[in-house]
Chains A and B, each alone.
Chain A
Amino acid sequence: MVRTDVQLMLDVKAGDEASFELLLQRYRTPLVNFLFRMVRNREQAEDLAQEVFLRVYRAREDYVPSAKFTTWLFRIATNLALNSMRDTRYQKLEVSIDAPVTVDAEDGDERPLDVVEKHPNIEQHLVEDVRVKMIRHAINKLPEKQRAAVLLHKYQELDYTEIAKILSCSESALKSLLFRAYEALRVELAPLVAHQARH
C-alpha cells in the first residue's frame, strides 16, 4: 500500500529515515522544476530545493498534519524562491526581463556574453525549440507572484485553496491573480496562441 505524504512525514517524525528518502524521491523532480521555472537558474534551483528538503527534515519533530503536505512543501519552496530572487547574491546571474531573446542562450538563463559560465549543464547546451524559448520568456516576464500562481496551478495541479494558502492570499484574490497572469501570457504568446487556437 502506498503511504500518503502525511503518513510518510509522521514516520519521519518517529525517526524513520527511509520515509524521508521516499519523500525526497517523490518530490525532488517537481520541486526542482518549480524552482527552476521560478528563479530561472538551474544551479540556484537545485540549491533551493536542497534547502527545502533540509527545512522539512529540521521541522520533522514539530510536524503536525494540519494542512496538506504539498501545501506546506510548496509554501517553503515559494518563500525561498521569492526571497532568493530578491537576494543580491544572485543578482549577477539574474536575467533582465527586458533583455532580448537570444538564440544561443537558454531563455531562462540569458546573461551577458562576458559572464563566464561556471557550471554549465547539459540543458543549457541543447538547442531548444523557439516555441519553448518563447513560452519560457513569457513566464519569466510575469511578476513574481503571478508566476508562482501559474506554476503551482499549471504544473503542480494544486487546487485554489492550496495555492491561496501558499501565496498567503484569499481565494478570490488568487483567481484574480491567475486571470491576470493568463491574460498576460495570452498577449505575450499571441502568435502561438492564435495558431494553437485555430487547431
Chain B
Amino acid sequence: MSCEKMAGRILGYLDGRLNESERLDAEKHLAVCAACRLRVNEFRAVSGLLDELPVIEPSPEFDLRVHARVVAEPVKESWWAWLRVSPRVAFAASMLLLAAIWMGFYQRPQQVQLPWSNPMEADAQMIQDLPVLEDHDVLSNFEPLKDLPGKADDDSDNVQQQQQPQQM
C-alpha cells in the first residue's frame, strides 16, 4: 500500500470503519512506514484533543421558547377546509334557499294581458300592421319631405291656434 492510499484510510482506520482486509493492509503499511505511523498517532491525538471541548447545556429558557413557538404555530388546515362553513353562515344560506323556494311557488309572475286572446290572432294582427310600419319608416327617412317649406311652421301655428282658446 502506498502512503497516499494510507492517507485516505487513516480516519477509517482510527474510527474502526475499515473492513478486515483494508485494516490488515493498513497495519502492514504502518509496520514499515514511520511517517504514516506518526501521522496516524497525530490524527489520534487531534481526535483526543477534540474530546476535551466541554459540553454546554441549553439555557433553562430553551424548552419554554421552543414550546412557545410551537404553540404559536397556526393550525394547518387541509386544502378543502374552506368548504366547511360556520353554523351561522350555514343557517343564513338555508334561510335564503327556503325563501327563494317559497317565492318561486307562491309568487309566480303575473302573465301579461295581451289584447288578443290567442297567439294566432296576435300574429295575424302583426302581419296586418307590417305595411303601416314599413310606410312609417319610409316617410320618416324620406328626404324630399323634410325640405317642404313651412310645414313645420304651419303645424306649430295650428297647434298655437288650438291652444289659445283653451288658455282664454
Contacts of A111 in B (CB 8 A): none
Q: Across the interface, do A54 and B73 meet the contact criterion of CB distance under 8 Å? A: yes
A154 interfacial contact with B, CB 8 Å:
yes
Contacts of B17 in A (CB 8 A): 159-160
Which of B43, B62, B76 is the one whose CB lies under 8 Å from A186?
Answer: B43
Contacts of A24 in B (CB 8 A): 63, 66
A105 interfacial contact with B, CB 8 Å:
no
Residue of A129, A176, A185 most packed against chain B (CB within 10 A): A185
Q: Across the interface, do A185 and B10 meet the contact criterion of CB distance under 8 Å? A: no
A58–B53 Cα distance when bound, in Å, is 33
Q: Report the minimum CB–CB distance from A155 to chain B (whole Å).
A: 8
Q: Across the interface, do B49 and A58 meet the contact criterion of CB distance under 8 Å? A: no
Main secondary structure of the interface of B (DSSP, over half): helix
Contacts of B69 in A (CB 8 A): 50, 53-54
**Given known A-B contacts A53-B66, A54-B66, A29 and B55 have beta carbons under 8 A apart:** yes
Q: Report the minimum CB–CB distance from A148 to chain B (whole Å).
A: 14
Contacts of A193 in B (CB 8 A): 42, 45-46, 49
Q: Mark contacts of B49-66 with chain A using CB atoms, 8 A cut-off: 1 yes-contact digit, 0 otherwise.
A: 110111111110011011
Contacts of B7 in A (CB 8 A): 179
A28–B62 Cα distance when bound, in Å, is 9
Q: Across the interface, do B11 and A186 meet the contact criterion of CB distance under 8 Å? A: no
* Total B residues in contact with A, Cβ cutoff 8 Å: 34
Our count of residue pairs bridging A and B at CB distance below 8 angstroms stands at 101
Q: Report the minimum CB–CB distance from B43 to chain A (whole Å).
A: 5
A176–B9 Cα distance when bound, in Å, is 10
Contacts of B58 in A (CB 8 A): 28-29, 32, 46, 49
A121 interfacial contact with B, CB 8 Å:
yes
Q: Across the interface, do A50 and B45 meet the contact criterion of CB distance under 8 Å? A: no
| Closest 4 A/B residue pairs (Cβ) | A196-B45, A197-B45, A193-B45, A32-B58
A residues at B contact (CB < 8 Å): 20, 24, 28-29, 32-33, 36-37, 42, 46, 49-50, 53-54, 57-58, 61, 121, 123, 129, 131-132, 135-136, 139, 150, 153-155, 159-160, 175-176, 178-179, 182, 185-186, 189, 192-194, 196-197
Q: Can you show 20 pairs from A to B with CB atoms below 8 A apart?
A: A24-B63, A28-B66, A29-B57, A29-B58, A32-B56, A32-B58, A37-B53, A53-B66, A53-B69, A54-B69, A54-B70, A132-B54, A160-B17, A182-B46, A185-B46, A185-B49, A186-B45, A192-B49, A193-B42, A196-B48
| Additional 20 contacts, C-beta under 8 A, given A46-B65, A154-B47, A185-B50 | A28-B58, A29-B58, A32-B56, A32-B58, A37-B53, A46-B62, A49-B58, A50-B66, A57-B70, A57-B73, A129-B52, A132-B53, A139-B50, A179-B11, A182-B11, A185-B46, A185-B49, A186-B43, A192-B49, A197-B38
